[in-house]
Structure 1
Amino acid sequence: MACCQEKLFHRLKPFIGVVFLQFGYSGMDVLSKAALNRGMSNYVFVVYRHAFAFVVMAPFAVFLEKKVRPKMTLSIFMKIVILSLLEPVIDQNLYFLGMKYTTATFAVSMYNVLPAITFVMAWILRLEKIKLKSTRSQAKVVGTLATVAGAMIMTLIKGPILDLFGTHATNTNNVQNGGINLEHAIKGSVMITIGCFSCACFMILQAITIEAYPAELSLTAWICLLGTVEGGIVALVMERNNFSAWSLKWDTKLLAAVYSGIVCSGMAYYIQGVVMKDRGPVFVTTFNPLCMVIVAIMGSFFLAEQMYLGRAIGAIVIIVGLYLVVWGKSKDYESSSTITEENMLSAKQTVEKTNSKEEHFSNLGTIARDEQV
């Protein structure tokens, strides 16, 4: 019984990890949008975010991975430098800029193209196997296309406003807070899409780096440290005449920086690394649409953002695509597990046969010596 529970928990761990990530990201989207609405610079926000993440994660990395942390090489260090540029600097700044032009719900909706981009890149680099005659591969391809189609529906189609639980009935600032014009939507979409490409590259490179440097906490601390330095350089350039942008008080800005740093940078990079070891980068990104659903609900309540029928339809399409991809990946995992078990069984049988033959020849030698005596 205990063995079955242990196996079940082992199988559920990746799902628990990625679902936790999406809840964490959803809280970050709402808090960061509120901070940006209060005038916080996205460049400064990214710097503080990774500074807080480094301060929290570094002690765990130093003490818990003292014996398992591999030696740092120039090749690994250069990979980490690129990692800290791709996601902490390029992706996050473009994402928050896109969010400034649009809404939190819109930004999360656009980010649902990330699984498709990661899937294609992983396939090109042979980190993801595709056999078009296989049902599970067809499910992954169709599901990936569905996530892209759903994101496009949410971006281009509005439709009538949905009054969720009467949250907009008494709010007079809906158009200002929730409505976005086409020009801003296009600008935001371009920025967020480029950020998606950068994040997909980060996911792929993190999966490659974790094989050469299998110390997830230390890798996380390094990414946060270098992300703080590189992001700080960008922020100093972009906010060179605005020193007041660096001031923090006990308000939403500080809360957003601390929360997103600890949960969405420190813990997220670590959990991603652990899950990637077992399931790969595509599995991690396929759960992004869950964040969209959470943010849509939270944004409607706390930010007075409008929910349109087009976005609701796009959300349904995305969730169907997510299910297909996860189903295909689960079949891949079961297949690989079966092959591994068969290989282990075959190897065990080979060893047993070898031992049996050695024992047989040993017995023959013993008999022969006895006959000579």
Structure 2
Amino acid sequence: MSKESITQLYKKVKPYLAVFLLQLGNAGMAIVSKFALDKGMSQHVFVVYRHAIAFVVIAPFAIVLDRKIRPKLTFSVFVKIALIGLLEPVMDQNLFYTGMKMTTATFATAICNVLPAFSIAMAWILGLEKVYLRRLPGLAKVLGTIVTVGGAMFMTLVNGPMLNLPWTHVNGHQESTSSANNKQDVIKGALMMLAGCVCWSAFIILQAITLKSYPAGLSLTVLICLMGTLESSILAVAMEWNNPTAWSIHFDSKLLAAVYAGVVRSGFTIYIQGLIMKQKGPVFVTAFNPLSTILVAILGFFILSEIMYLGGVIGAIIIFVGLYLVLWGKSKDQLGSKSDNEKIIPTAQNVATMDERIITSNQEFMTINVTSVKSTNGTA
């Protein structure tokens, strides 16, 4: 292969490699955070520490690398950043981690597979994503969204028999986990995580919009983490007012979770997903969430000894089918709206519009001819 072909191949593969690394980081985040939460760490304090660490780590890079491209921070951009900080660090993560405490890491990441469906719906409403209902890819997007949400509901409401896998034989730890799961309100936790996914989708859409007026990605990441720290601190103080020990942290799994989440998840992930969105759009970023589900399921079995139920497996499969329909429709739209498989269904309104265009073009053509004849006669 020539050097040019290798360069072109790298440019095509780079977004997919980047989004795979993001999902790998998300999988590690789910395992580490679930372990820290099970050890008694407050989810509200965890969100504060996470974004404070991200701000400290990313700020030096933003100061140096964005010094020549950093635009002026206008009031409208500041309002968008404040809203972004409210949506993702405060609302999304507090809802998500509270729901995760009631369920498992595998269940939480599987629920997050509804994110692409929510993102497409919001992008469609805001005009960032085109969905042509008269074309097969557009119908696939809508149907995939419905199937994805239905799979999440099935996974939430249907448990089914426990799967007796080789690595989940009952032992002392699992007996305590199983008895604890009987006391957990799984439906309430799932609804919290679904609400968090709605906030997460809104965060991604708003970040894509903000990048157009404030294209300095690292500086935007720092400002988001700063606003997230300030806003989540207010919520954490209110929720842990009578529990000052919740803020104590030592060199243990809680500190590891906060550092990992701050550096990998809140810091560089926000920046990298911003770069991907500039090239592929906001829906592409959320389309690979099933990768993290698979990785978390594997890690959760061996590290957290999580128990899997048949209802969860069937629900995850339904979600994957819906997600495939969404991605198929998305890929067909990117190939072009005039392919043979995407012909617009003719209607009376379409025909009338084409007739008007033909009449208008004929009138313009006749006007040009008359003008040219007059100018010729005048010259003669």
Normalized against structure 2, the TM-score is what? 0.84
For residues 28-83 of structure 1, the C-alpha deviation after alignment (integer angstroms, 9 at most, x for no partner) is: 11111110111101111001100111111111111111111111101001100110
Equivalent residue of 2:232, what SS? helix
Matches within 5 A, 1:222-371: 222-335=223-336
Runs of 4+ in 1 over 4 A off after TM superposition: none
- Deviation (angstroms), 1:207: 0.8
The AA in structure 1 aligned to 2:76 is S
CA contact (8 A) 2:117 2:323 kept: no
Corresponding residue of 1:158: 159
Equivalent in the alignment of 2:128: 127
Q: What SS class does the counterpart of residue 255 from structure 1 fall into?
A: helix
Most deviating of 125-134 and 40-49: 125-134
Matched, 1:50 2:46: no
Which whole-Å deviations, capped at 9, do the CAs of 1:84-118 have from their partners, x for residues lacking one? 11100110011000111121122222222222111
CA RMSD of aligned residues (A): 1.9
Distance 2:200 2:252 in 1: 29
Supply the AA of the counterpart residue of 2:131.
Answer: I
Q: How far does residue 326 in structure 1 lie from its aligned partner after superposition?
A: 2.3
Deviates more, 1:31-40 or 1:148-157: 148-157
State whether residues 109 and 289 of structure 1, in contact with CA within 8 Å, keep that contact through their aligned partners in structure 2: yes
2:37 is aligned with 1:7: no
Equivalent residue, structure 2, for 1:217: 218
Other-structure match for 1:176:
176
- The alpha carbon displacement at 1:175 in A equals 4.6
Distance in 1 of aligned mates of 2:28 and 2:144? 26
Per-residue CA distance 1:316-346 (angstroms, 9 max, x = gap): 222233333223222333328x9xxxxxxxx
Mean Cα displacement is larger for which, 320-329 or 268-277? 320-329
Q: Which moved more, 1:206-215 or 1:237-246?
A: 237-246
How far, CA to CA, are the matches of 1:29 and 1:120 in structure 2? 26
Aligned to 1:71: 72
Larger mean CA deviation between 63-72 and 6-15 belongs to 6-15
Q: Deviations over 1:217-251 (max 9, x none)?
A: 11101001111111111111211222211111111
What is the letter of the counterpart of residue 313 of structure 1?
A: I
Give the counterpart letter for 1:63 in structure 2: V
- The separation in 1 between residues aligned to 2:69 and 2:296, in whole angstroms, is 38
Deviations 1:159-196 (A, max 9, x none): 222233x1112523325325634860121022112111
Q: Could you tell me which amino acid in structure 1 is paired with residue 54 of structure 2?
A: A
Q: Is the 8 A contact 2:117 2:326 kept in 1?
A: no
Q: Distance in 2 between matches of 1:295 and 1:269?
A: 20
Label 1:324 to 1:11 Cα distance change in 2 as closer, same or farther (>3 A): farther
Equivalenced residue count is 337
SS class of match (1:293): helix
Structure 2: runs of 5+ lacking an equivalent = 340-380
User: Which deviates more, 75-84 or 191-200?
Assistant: 191-200
* Amino acid in the other structure paired with 2:149: V
Amino acid at match of 1:40: M
Counterpart position of 2:354: none
Tell me how far apart the structure 1 counterparts of residues 56 and 4 of structure 2 sit (CA, whole Å): 38
Confirm or deny: 8 A CA contact 2:88 2:203 kept in the other structure: yes
The one-letter code of the counterpart of 1:308 is Y
Q: Give SS of 1:173's match.
A: helix
Q: Distance in 2 between matches of 1:222 and 1:38?
A: 31
Take 2:184 and 2:50, find their aligned partners in 1: how far apart are those partners? 29
Provide the identity percentage. Answer: 55
Q: Which amino acid aligns with 1:255?
A: L
Deviates more, 1:217-226 or 1:171-180: 171-180
Query: In the aligned structure 2, how far is the partner of 1:151 from the partner of 1:304?
Result: 23
CA contact (8 A) 2:92 2:197 kept: yes
Secondary structure at the counterpart of residue 241 of structure 2? coil
Determine whether 1:35 maps to 2:36.
yes
Partner of 2:357: none
Q: Which runs of 5+ in 1 are unaligned?
A: 339-373
Check whether the contact 2:62–2:219 (CA below 8 A) recurs between aligned residues.
yes
Task: For residues 184-212 of structure 1, give each alpha carbon's deviation from its aligned partner in whole angstroms, at most 9, with x where no partner exists.
Answer: 01210221121111111111111110100
Give TM-score, length-normalised by structure 1.
Answer: 0.86
Q: Which amino acid aligns with 1:217?
A: L
